[in-house]
């Protein structure tokens, strides 16, 4: 888990990326500072495997709510789940986790945008089927990271946050271009 003290500059452009999972949910908060992208905080929320499903979704909800309350992101970007049709039981359990993560965003009045894995890869590398090594390289370069954070759920959360940042910046540029 990486931890740098949260800074109070420009929370309006702070993005929380989330890679939802019932066992481990990766999260990453990034923001632009002095023309570069910085990681405010990145880590994981783990649920206790031997406890009930209800207890575990509460752990996930409360963990994410804490991140939101402390870092006050302006938007949440979340991995789309519909691609995991081949493992239905896992997908449904991830749906439980994703439900309480969406709830935490709604409770803080933060808009949620979903991206599928192909979109994220395409935006970060120009290749919708980019291998893991190419994705890691892109994440390290964009965020000037000396090494990749562990576990992989954090890297996935960073990638989703970056994807949202670039698409939101693009949408803003298009809107400005259209203004009379």
Catalytic residue set = 19, 79, 153
Work out whether 72 is an interface residue with a second copy (CB under 8 A): no
Identify the residue among 74, 103, 148, 167 touching a second copy (CB under 8 A).
103
Work out whether 146 is an interface residue with a second copy (CB under 8 A): no
Residue nearer to a second copy on the CB measure, 88 or 180: 88
Residue nearer to a second copy on the CB measure, 51 or 141: 51
CA atoms within 13 A on the CB side of 175: 6
Work out whether 49 is an interface residue with a second copy (CB under 8 A): no
What single string gives the DSSP state of each residue in 62-117? HHHHHHHHHH--SEEEEE--TT-TTSHHHHHHHHHHHHHHHHHHHHTT-EEEEE-H
Question: Do the strands 75-79 and 15-19 form a parallel or antiparallel pair, or are they unpaired?
Answer: parallel
- The C-alpha atoms of residue 119 and residue 137 are separated, in whole angstroms, by 17
Work out whether 50 is an interface residue with a second copy (CB under 8 A): no
Work out whether 177 is an interface residue with a second copy (CB under 8 A): no
Identify the residue among 57, 68, 135, 157 touching a second copy (CB under 8 A).
57
Q: Which residues contact 103 (CB under 8 A, 6 or more apart)?
A: 61
**Minimum distance from CB of 6 to a second copy (Å)?**
23
- The C-alpha atoms of residue 180 and residue 76 are separated, in whole angstroms, by 30
Q: Containing H/E element for 40?
A: strand 36-46
Work out whether 178 is an interface residue with a second copy (CB under 8 A): no
Give the interface with a second copy as residue ranges (CB under 8 A). 52-55, 57-58, 61, 81-82, 85, 88-89, 91-100, 102-103, 105-107, 111-112
């Amino acid at each position: 888990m990486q931890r740098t003290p949260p800074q109070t500059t420009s929370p309006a452009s702070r993005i929380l990326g989330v890679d939802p999972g019932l066992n481990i949910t990766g999260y990453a908060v990034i923001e632009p500072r002095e023309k570069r992208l910085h990681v405010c905080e990145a880590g994981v929320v783990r649920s206790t495997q031997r406890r009930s499903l209800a207890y575990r979704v509460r752990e996930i909800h409360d963990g994410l709510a804490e991140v939101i309350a402390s870092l006050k992101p302006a938007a949440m970007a979340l991995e789309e789940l519909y691609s995991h049709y081949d493992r239905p039981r896992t997908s449904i359990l991830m749906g439980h986790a994703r439900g309480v993560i969406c709830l935490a965003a709604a409770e803080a009045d933060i808009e949620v945008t979903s991206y599928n894995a192909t979109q994220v890869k395409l935006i970060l590398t120009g290749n919708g089927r980019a291998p893991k090594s190419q994705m890691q390289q892109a994440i390290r370069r964009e965020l000037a990271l000396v090494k990749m954070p562990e576990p992989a759920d954090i890297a996935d959360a960073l990638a989703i946050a970056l994807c949202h940042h670039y698409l939101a910046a693009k949408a803003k540029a298009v809107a400005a271009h259209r203004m009379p």
